[in-house]
Amino acid sequence: MYGRTLITSVFWMIGVAALIAAAVGAAPAPPAQTQILDNQDVGKAETAAGDLVADAFRSAAHTDVAFVSAGDLKSLSSPITPGGIKATDVIALLMYPGDTVVTMALDGGMIGQALETSVAGYSQPRLSFLQVSGVKFTFDPARPAGHRVTGATIGGASIVKEKSYTVAMLNSMAGGALGYWKVWSKRNIVAGTTPVTSAAAVESYLKTNTKPDLTAQGRIKASK
């Protein structure tokens, strides 16, 4: 009798385990993270729209880096999902769609100064806050302004102060707008390059990148 009861119990446990395994196997996979074109905090944080426009400028100018200031972009009233993104939607975010994207020659020290200028007013939103492409950097908001950047790379390698890099940005910003006159001037514009409008740069980029990755790229990180 005892042996028969034990066998029955074993089979009952096996059956329960099988039912649990089947239930787990049948459970639907968690939904993938929804990607949206967002620009809500463009004046103080990396945004999907800022990344996209910066990538478009860098692609159009074939440069190492691209800078897009918060002042170059309009706010986005409601996020756009990837399936609904059109070039016209992104162009509508450009504050100056007719301004041209130019190429600057800046050394690593100047790029470091630009990054410091970008985060000098953190955490209040500022028009001078930079959205970036080709460069990643970290900063410590607890440090005094001008000494906040704790690390920066271009193309995965540490920035070399004496090395010259090419940087794409709008012509107005190249002229020193938003306080960047302290870092560079139009004398740093590379002669002989053919500028394109910011609108044309975005349109061309989205023609060849029809499904841009809108997840956080981790290009700008504040220490906690």
DSSP string, 146-213: TS-EEEEEETTEEPPTTSEEEEEEEHHHHTTGGGGGGT--GGGBPTT---EEHHHHHHHHHHH-SS--
pTM for the full model? 0.83
In which region does residue 25 sit, left (phi positive, over 0), alpha (psi from -120 to 50) or beta (all else)? alpha
- Biggest CA-to-CA distance, the chain: 98
pLDDT for res 77: 64
Per-residue pLDDT of the chain (224 residues; tens, 9 = 90+): 444 443 344 333 444 344 334 444 444 443 444 578 888 899 999 999 999 999 999 999 999 999 999 999 998 766 776 666 789 989 999 999 999 999 999 999 999 999 999 999 999 999 999 999 999 999 999 999 999 999 999 999 999 999 999 999 999 999 999 999 999 999 999 998 888 999 999 999 999 998 888 876 899 999 87
Q: Residue with structure tokens 């920066």? A: 152
pLDDT for res 15: 47
Rg (CA), the chain: 25
Structure tokens belonging to residue 69: 């200031």
pLDDT for res 2: 44
How far apart (Å, rounded) are the C-alpha atoms in residues 57 and 169?
7
In order of their start, the domains of the chain are 48-209 (3.90.780.10)
